[in-house]
Structure 1
Amino acid sequence: MKITAAVMREKGGRFSLEEVDLADPRDDEVLIRMVSCGICHTDTLPRDQVVPAPFPAIYGHEGAGVVEKVGRQVSRLQPGDHVVMSCNSCGHCDTCQTGHPMYCRHFFQANFGFARMDGSHTIYKCEEVIHGSFFNQSSFATYALGTERSVVKIPSDVPLDLMGPLGCGVQTGAGAVINSLRVQAGDSIAIYGAGSVGLSALLAAVVTGCAVRICVDPNEERLEVARTLGATHVVNPAKTAPVEAIREITGGLGTRFSLETSGNLTALRQAVDSIQIMGECGMIGAPAFGSEIGFDTWGLLLGRKIRGICEGDAVPKLFIPKLVELHRQGRFPFDKIVRFYDFKDINQAVEDSERGRAIKAVLRFDFH
């Protein structure tokens, strides 16, 4: 079928809206009419070749929309369902089978392979292959294909245009706090980075009853947003040494948990140094491939832990509906970090995201 998609044709380039052909859904696939799609930092990685990827290509991996058609083997979804599209996983390896799909042995192929798992392509322009299936979505388009495994049904009475970021960025930050670190009432946490992932982690820390919630970011406007969303303290590392400030806030102990969301190696070292004895640091931010960092080994010997976190350790079909319900109750107001853009303004939305003018940019698709 003919669809309109935002195509990237060169390294560091701009998106061009083009008419392309999308394949019909296979037996295990779902065709979705896109209503909205969040923009995530991960969408720029293949564009800038931080992650090796082919051109031309279609990105987008925080899609939300309405099911139009389902394959014969699809049993949990039907036309008319409102859905959020999330990450892909094989479903067959040991980590998938034990309930950890975000650590799928084939995660890179399933999400950054720019083709179906069997290597076939889903999008063409005449005879030209347009590399799709990014995160099993490529949802910077008016329609997208997914599979039942990576598409999550949500209630039809919540604002669908808002829900896309739950598929990745919001899920990642919230899941890091709730699923990975398992922050509890009365705990303390220092969150490095007040972007969409860090602020989603902050909202989750409020939900869990975490008592001391510190946000660290050099952007004063974002620190002000963090205050309004529930940060008990904020630290600007451009003005104050964050480790010393956090120790002062916590009576010299450091926080029970820390979370690094920006991919900045200096911030990661500070996040580790911020935690108390027996504390735990979660690493979400993705620095360049091959990056290395040193730590105080004696500090780690005193029971401190560092762990990498992918997509908030979520099982999307279980975790995303929980976040939807928390939002519906007014306890998880991630809408306060969202700024909407028309699909035709995708380049402006990406630029605003990269320059810090938008915390979470979300594209809306107009079918009128």
Structure 2
Amino acid sequence: MKVTAAVATGKGSPLTIKDLELEDPRPGEVQVRMVASGVCHTDASVREEWYPTLMPAVLGHEGAGVVERTGPGVTSVAPGDHVVLSYSSCGGCASCVSGHPAYCAQFFPLNFFSHRPDGSVSFSDHGKPVGSHFFGQSAFSTVSNVPERNVIKVPTSVPLELLGPIGCSVQTGAGAVLNVLAPEAGSSIVIFGTGAVGMSALLAAKVANTSTIIAVDVIDERLILAKELGATHVINALTEDTVARIKEITEGGVDYAVDSTGNKAVFRNMIDALGTRGHAALVGLASPGTEGTIDIGTTILTGAKISLVIEGDTVPQTFIPKLVSLYQDGRFPFDKLITSYPFSDINTAFEHARTGTALKPVVVF
């Protein structure tokens, strides 16, 4: 069938809107007509060829849409179902079967190589292959073929135009807090970076009933929104001594911390701001080769714990419905993070994500 997709053609180049041919769904695949897709930092990183993704390729990994067809063997969804798409995992390795598919032994090839495990792709351009199955989805296409493990059924009462980011950036921040840090009610937490991932962590901290929620950023407008969403304190890192201020607020050091920036200086500040037996989570994506340092001579005395977190350590099939339910109950207003763009303006959405003009751009088909 003919589809329209935004195709990445090479390092740093704008995405090109093209008509492609999409093959029928294969066994175990679901054909999804996209309603919307979030634009994520990882999409931009791959476009810059940080990772060995097949080019040209259709990127996009925060898709939401409606099931059109199912391939042989699919049982969890049927045509007409509303679905959110999440990351790929094999389902059979030790991490997958123990409930930690974000650490799947095949995570990198399944999500970044832009082809099926057998090397085939589902898109073509006048007979020439175009990379598909990016994060199992390639959601920057009007229709895409997706492995059944990527597909999570959601209620038809929630607008699909909003739900795409739950499949990656929102669950990454929220899962880091609710699944990995698991803060006690009444504890303190600091969120470094108030982009979509950081704000999702903040919303989750609110759900967890932490009493002190500190947001750190360098953009005042984002800090204002952080206050509106539940931060009890905000710090502009350009104008204040971040670590000193956190220790002042928490009377010695924070219980929990999230770094959503991937910046090595911010990572060090996060560790230095921890209190005794504090627990920190790094969720921000850094370019390969980035090294962060800590003072092991003094940090060891605190008993601090550092977790490196991918995709919020979630099982998407259970965690995404939980977030949707929290949203329906008014307890997780992630929709306040979203700015919508027509699909034809996808390159503007990328640029606004880069400059910070938009927290979470979402292209709507």
The question of whether the paired residues in 1 share the 8 Å contact of 2:37 and 2:63 is answered with: yes
Q: Give the corresponding residue for 1:191.
A: 191
> Deviation at 1:150?
1.1
The answer as to 2:320 corresponding to 1:282 is: no
The question of whether the paired residues in 1 share the 8 Å contact of 2:195 and 2:359 is answered with: yes
Q: Give the corresponding residue for 2:144.
A: 144
The one-letter amino acid paired with 2:104 is C
The one-letter amino acid paired with 1:141 is S
Q: Give the corresponding residue for 1:180.
A: 180
How far apart, in 2, do the equivalents of 1:203 and 1:127 lie? 46
The answer as to 2:235 corresponding to 1:235 is: yes
How far apart, in 2, do the equivalents of 1:307 and 1:343 lie? 36
Q: Give the corresponding residue for 1:260.
A: 259
Q: Give the corresponding residue for 1:301.
A: 300
The answer as to 2:111 corresponding to 1:122 is: no
> Deviation at 1:300?
3.0
Spell out structure 1 runs of 4+ moving beyond 6 A. Answer: none
The one-letter amino acid paired with 2:283 is I
> Deviation at 1:286?
1.6
> Deviation at 1:289?
0.7
Q: Give the corresponding residue for 1:77.
A: 77
| Residues 157-189 of structure 1: CA deviation (Å, up to 9, x unaligned) | 111110000000000000000001111211111
Q: Secondary structure of the residue that 1:74 maps to in structure 2?
A: coil
Q: Secondary structure of the residue that 1:245 maps to in structure 2?
A: helix
How many residue pairs get aligned? The number is 364
Q: Secondary structure of the residue that 1:149 maps to in structure 2?
A: helix
The question of whether the paired residues in 1 share the 8 Å contact of 2:54 and 2:113 is answered with: no
How far apart, in 1, do the equivalents of 2:45 and 2:286 lie? 11
The one-letter amino acid paired with 2:62 is E
The answer as to 2:32 corresponding to 1:32 is: yes
Q: How do residues 63-74 of structure 1 correspond to structure 2 at under 5 angstroms? A: 63-74=63-74
Q: How do residues 44-123 of structure 1 correspond to structure 2 at under 5 angstroms? A: 44-123=44-123
How far apart, in 2, do the equivalents of 1:2 and 1:192 lie? 43
Tell me which moved more, 104-113 or 122-131.
122-131
**Aligned-residue identity in percent:** 47
The one-letter amino acid paired with 2:325 is E
> Deviation at 1:357?
0.5
| Residues 258-282 of structure 1: CA deviation (Å, up to 9, x unaligned) | 1100111100000111111100110
Tell me which moved more, 103-112 or 115-124.
115-124
> Deviation at 1:293?
2.1
Q: Secondary structure of the residue that 2:89 maps to in structure 1?
A: coil
The answer as to 2:356 corresponding to 1:356 is: yes
Q: Secondary structure of the residue that 1:83 maps to in structure 2?
A: strand
Unaligned runs of 5+ in 1: none
Kindly report the root-mean-square deviation, in angstroms, between the aligned alpha carbons of the 2 structures: 0.8
How far apart, in 2, do the equivalents of 1:228 and 1:55 lie? 42
> Deviation at 1:61?
0.2
The one-letter amino acid paired with 2:335 is D
The one-letter amino acid paired with 1:285 is G
How far apart, in 2, do the equivalents of 1:242 and 1:2 lie? 53
The answer as to 2:272 corresponding to 1:273 is: yes
